[in-house]
């Protein structure tokens, strides 16, 4: 133990097991060693370590890292509280008492916080890369379906016709906002707590600017008390995962619905589907369902941490050890889900003509008819009322809009002429859109071009 000299008895074995974080924070071993190497170099620069001592520490730390990576030494959770104490003990075994100088001016509080921030910066870059990969996959699919007509929905009721490309681009936008949030959290994490000590800095002339620069941080933190107790950046990281998984879950839900026999719109690739142990005909969208299901655990991780932190007095409390499991699990889940969704999107096949006949003359073109009336100088509220009567008439006769005769339209209002019936043609519905951000194929093509250049 790093702290046992003032105690008369060693910690209870079960208490050690209960309190150990080694089983999950072992993934920080590289970052902890990197922090220790930078700290040792700084101690050399201020005269605490000699050149020979620093070389011994640097060489010893590299050996510890190699042993972990080659599995020739793995710390025992029944012996160590965490990866940080395990590495220090192993370093002592390798180089002797010189290892005892490494912790000069340092607490596990600032040591751990620095390592977590290094890990987080790498993880944020990975999530950004996987978000871009999924964006590219969505764009690649969208390029093939600029003119593939599908119904757009509000309240899960058909609203207006759109294109599949337009629908997919909505998720590209969501992923872009995810990347913006990742960038914000990266800036939050890009601050070095090293040198803050337990909570109040050090009486030693530690060069915090040097360690901050050597570790690739933007600058050292301003307040030692806040530095060791701050978990805002982790909460914000979890929030990115929450919103990201929420959006992936929405896409999963739509893909699952689209793949049903009733919709008959897409077929999932075999690579991302499973069968049934009982029913040989089944092809289940299990991977999309798992993405949707795993969203709940990421929500739980967020709630777990904010509940833990909400009543903690400054500065450090052992409760804060509970930040790592939700952090690591949320990252793993979101990262894996992004990768799986990219695979799903890249292997689905589309029934391109599924809705062409069905939407020709469909009630979802009613708003276009109201716009036609507006262009005839009819106030929109009056137009809305007239078209409502048209829909009611068609519904009463079990007809689509394009099945109504001109005489039937004129029975509602004499303003109708043959040009009104052109509004019911689904093949020109998207081209009639004129506003920026609409599913007009010309505009969608332009957006796709811009996205490809941006990514």
CA nearest to 98, candidates 66, 63, 44, 54: 54
CA nearest to 327, candidates 343, 306, 342: 306
How many other C-beta atoms can be found within 10 angstroms of the C-beta atom of residue 289? Answer: 15
> How many Cα atoms are found within 13 Å in the side-chain-facing hemisphere of 85?
17
DSSP state of 364: G
Classify each residue of 104-116 as buried b or exposed e, where b means 16 or more C-beta atoms within 10 Å of its C-beta: bbbbbbbbbbbbb
pLDDT at 77: 84
> What are the C-alpha distances in Å from 160 to residues 121, 263, 270, 306, 424?
43, 17, 32, 41, 12
Q: Are 229 and 250 in contact (CB under 8 A)?
A: no
Sign for the CA dihedral angle at 212, 216, 219, 222 comes to: negative
Structure tokens at 193: 């707590």
pLDDT at 3: 44
Structure tokens at 245: 């998984």
pLDDT along the chain (455 residues), means of 10: 58 76 94 98 98 98 98 91 95 97 96 98 98 98 97 96 98 98 98 97 98 98 98 98 98 97 95 91 94 98 98 95 97 98 97 95 96 97 97 96 96 96 94 96 98 96
CA nearest to 142, candidates 345, 359, 431: 345
In DSSP terms, 158 is beta-bridged to 153
Query: Strand, helix or coil at 105?
Result: coil
Q: Are 259 and 266 in contact (CB under 8 A)?
A: yes
pLDDT at 209: 98
Query: Which domains occur in the chain, in start order?
Result: 4-104 (1.10.275.10), 109-355 (1.20.200.10), 357-454 (1.10.40.30)
Q: How far is 231 from 188, CA to CA, in rounded Å?
A: 10
Radius of gyration over every alpha carbon of the chain, rounded to an integer in angstroms: 31
Residues 6+ apart with CB under 8 A from 325: 24, 301
pLDDT at 4: 55
> What are the C-alpha distances in Å from 90 to residues 72, 73, 114, 223, 288?
12, 9, 20, 32, 44
> How many Cα atoms are found within 13 Å in the side-chain-facing hemisphere of 312?
22
Give the Cα-Cα-Cα angle 26, 80, 104 (nearest 5 degrees). Answer: 85
State how beta strands 349-350 and 266-267 pair.
Answer: antiparallel
What ranges in 259-379 are assigned the alpha helix state H?
286-309, 324-347, 356-359, 366-374
> What are the C-alpha distances in Å from 430 to residues 88, 160, 403?
66, 10, 20
Residues identified as active-site: 155, 276
Q: Helix, strand, coil: what percent of the chain each, to 5?
A: 65, 5, 30
pLDDT at 6: 59
Please classify residue 11 by burial: count the beta carbons closer than 10 Å to its beta carbon, then call 0-12 exposed, 13-18 middle and 19+ buried. Answer: middle
CA nearest to 449, candidates 256, 68, 216, 172: 172
Phi, psi (degrees; rounded to nearest 5) at 162: -135, -175
């Amino acid at each position: 133990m790093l702290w046992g000299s003032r105690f008369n008895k060693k910690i209870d074995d079960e208490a050690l097991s209960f309190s150990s974080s080694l089983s999950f924070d072992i993934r920080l071993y590289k970052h902890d060693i990197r922090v220790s190497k930078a700290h040792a170099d700084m101690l050399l620069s201020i005269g605490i370590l000699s050149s020979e001592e620093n070389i011994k520490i640097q060489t010893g730390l590299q050996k510890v890292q190699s042993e972990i990576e080659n599995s020739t030494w793995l710390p025992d959770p029944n012996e160590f509280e965490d990866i940080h104490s395990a590495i220090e003990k192993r370093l002592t075994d390798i180089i002797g008492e010189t290892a005892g100088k490494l912790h000069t001016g340092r607490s596990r509080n600032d040591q751990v916080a620095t390592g977590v921030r290094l890990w987080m910066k790498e993880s944020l870059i990975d999530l950004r890369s996987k978000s871009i990969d999924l964006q590219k996959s969505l764009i690649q699919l969208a390029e093939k379906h600029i003119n593939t007509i599908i119904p757009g929905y509000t309240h899960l009721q058909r609203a207006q016709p759109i294109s599949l490309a337009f629908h997919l681009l909505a998720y590209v936008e969501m992923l872009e906002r995810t990347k913006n949030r990742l960038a914000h959290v990266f800036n939050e994490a890009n601050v070095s707590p090293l040198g803050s000590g337990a909570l109040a800095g050090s009486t030693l002339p530690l060069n915090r600017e040097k360690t901050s620069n050597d570790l690739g941080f933007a600058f050292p933190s301003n307040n030692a008390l806040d530095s060791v107790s701050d978990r805002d950046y982790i909460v914000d990281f979890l929030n990115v995962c929450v919103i990201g998984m929420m959006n992936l879950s929405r896409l999963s839900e739509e893909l699952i619905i689209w793949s049903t026999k009733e919709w008959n719109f897409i077929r999932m690739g075999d690579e991302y589907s499973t069968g049934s142990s009982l029913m040989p005909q089944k092809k289940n969208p299990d991977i999309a369902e798992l993405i949707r299901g795993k969203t709940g655990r990421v929500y739980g991780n967020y709630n777990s941490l904010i509940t833990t932190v909400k009543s903690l007095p400054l500065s450090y409390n052992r409760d804060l050890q509970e930040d790592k499991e939700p952090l690591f699990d949320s990252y793993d889940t979101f990262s894996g889900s992004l990768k799986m969704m990219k695979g799903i999107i890249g292997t689905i096949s589309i029934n391109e003509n599924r809705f062409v006949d069905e939407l020709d003359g469909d009630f979802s073109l009613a708003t276009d008819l109201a716009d036609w009336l507006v262009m005839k100088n009819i106030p929109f509220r009056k137009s809305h009322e007239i078209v409502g009567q048209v829909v009611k008439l068609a519904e009463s006769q079990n007809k689509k809009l394009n099945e109504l005769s001109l005489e039937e339209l004129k029975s509602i209002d004499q303003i109708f002429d043959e040009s009104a019936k052109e509004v019911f043609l689904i093949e020109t519905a998207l081209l009639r859109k004129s506003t920026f951000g609409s599913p007009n194929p010309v505009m969608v093509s332009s957006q796709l071009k811009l996205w490809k250049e941006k990514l």
